[in-house]
Amino acid sequence: MARVLPDQLHAFCVEAMRKAGMRERDTRTTADVLVTTDTWGITTHGTKSLRQYLTRVRAGGLSPLAVPEVVREGPSWAVVDGHDAIAMVSSCAGMELAVRKAAAAGVAYVGVKNSCHFGAAGYYAMIAARHDMIGLAMSNADPNMVVPGGKGKIVGNNPFAYAVPAGAERPLMLDIALSAVAAGKIHAATTLGKRTIPENWLVDADGLPTSDPDMYPLRACLVPMAGHKGYGLALLVEVLAAVLSGAGVTREVKSWMLDDPSKPTFHGAAFLAVDVGALMPIGEFKARMDRMIREVRGAPKAKGSERIYLPGEMEWERRDEALRCGMELPPDVIASLVGLAEDWGLDARWVQ
């Protein structure tokens, strides 16, 4: 398999988006989000998705020239209408606005409506961390998860991320979905030919636990992480990202992959920023972060374990490696990039 350089991949994505009629600045913003996500090793949420986003652009469900607009605002908050821009554009705009508001007020919330699938939430949280702020980013999703006592798809496994700046240490960053496992893990089990998965990953059509990965996605659905806890947290994300922003809520949100690409998906997103330096001298905060990080990393290891990772640490190491010597993209990502090239008349020989 060829190793792909991040810059090469970035240029390819920019070119595809140019052909789809997006503004130069927006193509770069979107490519930054998707390629960075790949360098973190989160290839389920990186450039693999661009083909489908641009299919939605071509069909009219996403708007290539839309400019996200602030529709209401106050000292420490704003609501942005994404106008069905590709969600990387409206989400970066949302967190950048939260950062500006927090710089003035200390803490800020920005809700975005008329968004779409925004990829890896962690990228937006990291925008805040690069400004020495604590960042939180979250989005709702079309329902794909059961809730305790129910059956079928009731709420989304809403993505949630945070990032916190540190000093000599690298930022903490956690980027999770609120299901017990991501759909990708179940597809991976199927691809590897596994006949069984743990009983707490899926429920069947009766809402009862199943260990058969082949039931997914047609006859089974995801379960919330930690049962009622993940269910409750998914509803909190639904409130902050959608009920409060004016976006679609639960069933009003459409699948960016499966539903009509000529229609909007009505996703909502939320971005919070806390300007650490307003509350505490930034050097003191960073020293306190470094101390906590080192204490956790230095704790005794479990039998058979060589290392304790801090949230984000695996991503930073994968990115170092990707920037140094390129990355090996998995076959599903390559297939999607080849399809993207076909769709928009680009040369994909470099990736094959």
CB of 277 to a copy of itself, least distance (A): 11
Distance, CA of 310 to CA of 294 (rounded, Å): 9
CB of 145 to a copy of itself, least distance (A): 11
Give the residue with the Cβ less far from a copy of itself, 246 or 330: 246
Strand partners, 274: 107, 134
Give the residue with the Cβ less far from a copy of itself, 316 or 344: 316
Instruction: Label the pairing between strands 77-81 and 107-115.
Output: parallel
Please enumerate, as own/partner, the contacts of 155-158 that have beta carbons within 8 Å and a separation of 24 or more. Answer: 155/231, 155/234, 155/235, 155/238, 155/250, 156/234, 156/238, 156/250, 156/253, 157/182, 157/183, 157/222, 157/224, 157/234, 158/234, 158/237, 158/238, 158/241
CB of 71 to a copy of itself, least distance (A): 11
CB of 343 to a copy of itself, least distance (A): 35
Distance, CA of 147 to CA of 238 (rounded, Å): 14
Distance, CA of 266 to CA of 275 (rounded, Å): 30
CB of 321 to a copy of itself, least distance (A): 20
Give the residue with the Cβ less far from a copy of itself, 205 or 258: 205
- Count of beta carbons in the 10 Å neighbourhood of residue 143: 21
Give the residue with the Cβ less far from a copy of itself, 24 or 284: 284
Give the residue with the Cβ less far from a copy of itself, 93 or 110: 110
Give the residue with the Cβ less far from a copy of itself, 149 or 345: 149
Joined tokens for residue 283? 């050097």
CB of 284 to a copy of itself, least distance (A): 9
In terms of phi and psi (left: phi > 0; alpha: psi -120 to 50; beta: otherwise), the region of 286 is: alpha
